[in-house]
Amino acid sequence: MSTLLDYFESYNKRIFPLQAITAVVAITLAALLFILPGIATTVLLKAYLSVIFIWIGAAFLFLMGDLRKRMPFVSFATAAAYFPLAIIFILDIFSMQTAYRVSQPGWRLYVSLFMMAWGVIIYPLTGYTVGHRYPRVPLFGAMPCPTNIFTIGLLTAFASTQLDTIALYILSSMAITAAVRAALVGFDGERIYEDLALLASGVYGFVIALVVL
């Protein structure tokens, strides 16, 4: 009987090298926020995230074998959250009047940038420490957990609209729920301990959304 990590392995093999491409694009767009801040960079980043969210939602419904039958909550909960998030970012593109801009350096910016780096680079490295090696590991741009961490970091640093704040609430709720299940409860006896970082990012996102934004 397939476990969740078995599904990850099959999926990662099918879509390689998409994972590397999504990571490089994310790092490039994040760097452009500092090099060429403005509406154009913000639109590109939100359009990119919209595509990523649609892809992940569709992947968990259609590209992971019989995951829908074996673990319907995982499949349908991911799609139910990620498709609306994509719509939110698309709507924000057309209604946007404020671009993402780097604020004054401070603890929130540094923590948020660290979270973005964690989602893209550090998350899979922490997986290696608990025995989750490629392709049996969630990767940014292809799976929800590291993508959530990156996006929560992005929004806590740069959120500029009400739709950004709504997206942050949704992502933070997803992060806490998914992390409790994956890291603390587990799936068929397997725990994804690297998702403790996802739990921390969800709590951080809620605090920033409630207190700062």
Sign of CA dihedral 99, 52, 90, 25: positive
Mean pLDDT for the stretch of residues 182-203: 90
Sequence-ordered list of residues with C-beta below 8 angstroms from that of 145, at least 6 positions apart, any chain: 123, 138, 175, 178, 179, 182, 192, 194, 195, 198
Distance (Å, whole) CA 125 – CA 180: 20
Predicted confidence at residue 159, as pLDDT, reads 83
pLDDT per residue as tens digits for the range 11-36: 999 999 999 999 999 999 999 998 99
Predicted confidence at residue 97, as pLDDT, reads 66
Residue 180 main-chain phi, psi, to 5 deg: -60, -45
Which residue has better confidence, 79 or 97?
Answer: 79
Identify the bridge partners of residue 190 per DSSP, sorted by sequence position: 187
DSSP helix/strand/coil, 159: coil
Range of the domain at 208: 4-212
Predicted confidence at residue 100, as pLDDT, reads 84
Q: How many domains does the chain have?
A: 1
What's the distance, CA 147 to chain centroid?
2
Which residue has better confidence, 177 or 68?
Answer: 177
Distance (Å, whole) CA 49 – CA 151: 8
Distance (Å, whole) CA 31 – CA 162: 24
Sequence-ordered list of residues with C-beta below 8 angstroms from that of 77, at least 6 positions apart, any chain: 177
Mean pLDDT for the stretch of residues 131-149: 93
Rounded to 5 degrees, what angle do the CA atoms 147, 74, 197 make? 40
CB 149 within 8 A of CB 123: yes
Predicted confidence at residue 71, as pLDDT, reads 80
- Report the predicted TM-score, pTM, of the whole model to 2 decimal places: 0.94
What's the distance, CA 26 to chain centroid?
11
| Band of pLDDT at residue 1, cut at 50, 70 and 90 | very low
Sequence-ordered list of residues with C-beta below 8 angstroms from that of 162, at least 6 positions apart, any chain: none
Residue (of 168, 173, 176) closest to 208 by Cα position = 168
Side chain identity at residue 88, one-letter code: I
Average pLDDT, the chain: 90
* Number of alpha helices (DSSP H) and beta strands (DSSP E) in the chain: 10, 0
